[in-house]
């Protein structure tokens, strides 16, 4: 409930006096805000209990269905090798027959084609049975309650693979491409495989649902280890409709959903946030309406690590005095003094190691490299990261013809800090 207003109950009655006397009204006001809060909290807890029971029942149903499917699949998987052995014997007999009877072709049969097709069919049986077995195993693990299970060493890339087995077929229906960039030598974390898998599966489904029908949707999955944070970071990014600023403020609230008419419960993100918090991690969201969203999961390798992250603005300029002014007015500013030996790759490497940076504010005329080249590469690798370019020279704010993308905003100096703050507020910040 919003604390900016109060709830009151009023009571009024007219006091009738004898004829000739003046009647009057008696009234009373009572502040019932706390009562209202208690009722709303009670309703929320009741809904949470109902949804929890539904989820528990759903888990039992999923486990039961997986068990029922497992029996016929096991029968298929057991008999495919037998079928393959029989075919190997039959193929030898057919080979002899084909060598002695040259009229196979006349009968519309090709010995080579028959053998090739049969081998492909048997191989397809094998692949299909193995895939179904993997899905069944994942569903059983996914639905298993492990509240009492001990934390173990978990490979996050394996978790991502498991989540894709569960929801991959569903999200590929209206997604043109799923890109995966998994770094090498990612250390394991101490946690619960199924809980992290549940979070990643939920974020993948959300990304799929954010892409409008008919659009060439792309979902990107990145997994890497950031030594500075001692954490494994998983990014799930889509090029869907994005999230507006008002919605962003509530996306982790229990029962908040923009898909109520489609039977959305509003529990997915709140549960996901809680599960990652159990691992001493956090989830951040960077979104641009009309351009897409990026959800980032931070999982400390050491379970007892205290992961404190705050959104940051990277300010780039060669003017030290102005950088200090920006730092004084934006407490979350990270300043970068432009030097003649700087390279675009230096900035990109910094962004890779500092994923909490959610905005670039840069002078147009830099030493060492072109700000337009920098922006082009940033927008290619981080399409949702806003870039603001400023300069006292109006001509410097005009993008060269070869630049494929434009900055989110250009500002001509002099401008006030209030103006810059307004622009940053309108563009929107990362929720972390």
Q: Which pLDDT score, from 0 to 100, does residue 58 have?
A: 63
Joined together, the tokens standing for residue 179 give: 């890109």
Residue 147 has pLDDT above 60, yes or no: no
Read off the pLDDT of residues 122-135 as tens digits, 9 standing for 90 and up: 888 887 787 777 77
CA–CA gap between residue 390 and residue 397 (Å, rounded)? 7
Kindly report, residue by residue over 220-251, the tens digit of the pLDDT. 999 999 988 899 999 999 999 988 888 887 78
Average pLDDT of the residues in 143-162? 78
188-197: pLDDT as tens digits = 999 988 889 8
**269, 251 Cβ separation under 8 angstroms:** yes
Burial track 290-321 (b if 16+ CB lie within 10 A, e otherwise): eebbbbbbbbbbeeeeeeebeebbbbbbbeee
pLDDT at 382 over 70: yes
Note the pLDDT of residue 94. 80
Tell me the domains of the chain and their CATH numbers. 152-300 (3.30.565.10), 312-427 (3.40.50.2300)
130-to-70, 71, 83, 170, 388 alpha-carbon distances in Å: 11, 13, 16, 19, 51
Which of 103-112, 177-186, 314-323 has the lowest average pLDDT?
Answer: 103-112
Question: CA 168, CA 135: separation in Å to the nearest integer?
Answer: 10
Question: If you average pLDDT over every residue of the chain, what do you get?
Answer: 83
Give pLDDT, residue 195.
Answer: 86
- Using alpha carbons, select from 135, 158, 155, 154 the residue that is nearest to residue 146: 154
Question: Residue 431: what pLDDT?
Answer: 78
Task: Kindly report, residue by residue over 347-363, the tens digit of the pLDDT.
Answer: 999 998 888 898 999 99
């Amino acid at each position: 409930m919003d604390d900016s207003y109060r709830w009151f109950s009023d009571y009024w009655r007219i006091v009738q006096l004898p004829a000739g006397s003046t009647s009057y009204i008696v009234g009373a006001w009572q502040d019932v805000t706390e009562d209202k809060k208690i009722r709303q909290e009670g309703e929320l807890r009741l809904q949470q209990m109902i949804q929890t029971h539904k989820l528990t029942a759903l888990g039992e149903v999923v486990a039961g269905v997986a068990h029922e499917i497992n029996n016929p699949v096991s029968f298929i998987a057991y008999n495919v090798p037998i079928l393959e052995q029989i075919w190997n014997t039959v193929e030898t007999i057919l080979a002899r027959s084909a060598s002695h009877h040259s009229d196979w072709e006349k009968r519309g049969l090709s010995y080579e084609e028959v053998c090739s097709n049969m081998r492909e069919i048997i191989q397809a049986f094998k692949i299909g049975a193995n895939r179904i077995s993997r899905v069944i195993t994942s569903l059983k693990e996914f639905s298993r309650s492990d509240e009492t299970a001990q934390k173990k060493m978990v490979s996050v890339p394996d978790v991502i693979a498991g989540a894709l087995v569960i929801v991959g077929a569903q999200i590929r229906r209206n997604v043109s491409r799923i890109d995966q960039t998994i770094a090498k030598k990612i250390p394991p974390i101490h946690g619960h495989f199924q809980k992290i898998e549940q979070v990643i599966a939920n974020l993948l489904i959300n990304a799929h649902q954010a892409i409008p029908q008919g659009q060439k949707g792309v979902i990107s999955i990145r997994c890497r280890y950031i030594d500075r944070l001692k954490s494994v970071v998983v990014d799930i990014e889509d090029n869907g409709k994005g999230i507006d600023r008002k919605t962003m403020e509530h996306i982790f609230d229990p029962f908040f959903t923009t898909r109520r008419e489609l039977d959305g419960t509003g529990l997915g993100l709140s549960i996901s946030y809680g599960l990652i918090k159990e691992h001493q991690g956090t989830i951040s969201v960077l979104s641009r309406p009309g351009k897409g969203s990026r959800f980032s999961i931070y999982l400390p390798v050491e379970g007892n690590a205290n992961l404190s992250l705050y959104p940051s603005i990277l300010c780039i300029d060669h003017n030290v005095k102005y950088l200090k002014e920006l730092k004084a007015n934006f407490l979350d500013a990270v300043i970068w003094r432009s030097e003649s030996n700087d390279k675009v790759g230096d900035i990109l490497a910094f962004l890779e190691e500092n994923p909490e940076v959610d905005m670039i504010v840069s002078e147009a005329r830099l030493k060492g490299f072109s700000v337009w080249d920098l922006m082009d590469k940033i927008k290619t690798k981080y399409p949702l990261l806003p870039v603001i370019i400023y300069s006292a020279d109006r001509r410097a704010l005009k993008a060269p013809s070869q630049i494929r993308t434009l900055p989110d905003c250009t500002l001509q100096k002099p401008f006030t800090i209030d103006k810059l703050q307004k622009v940053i507020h309108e563009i929107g910040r990362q929720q972390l």
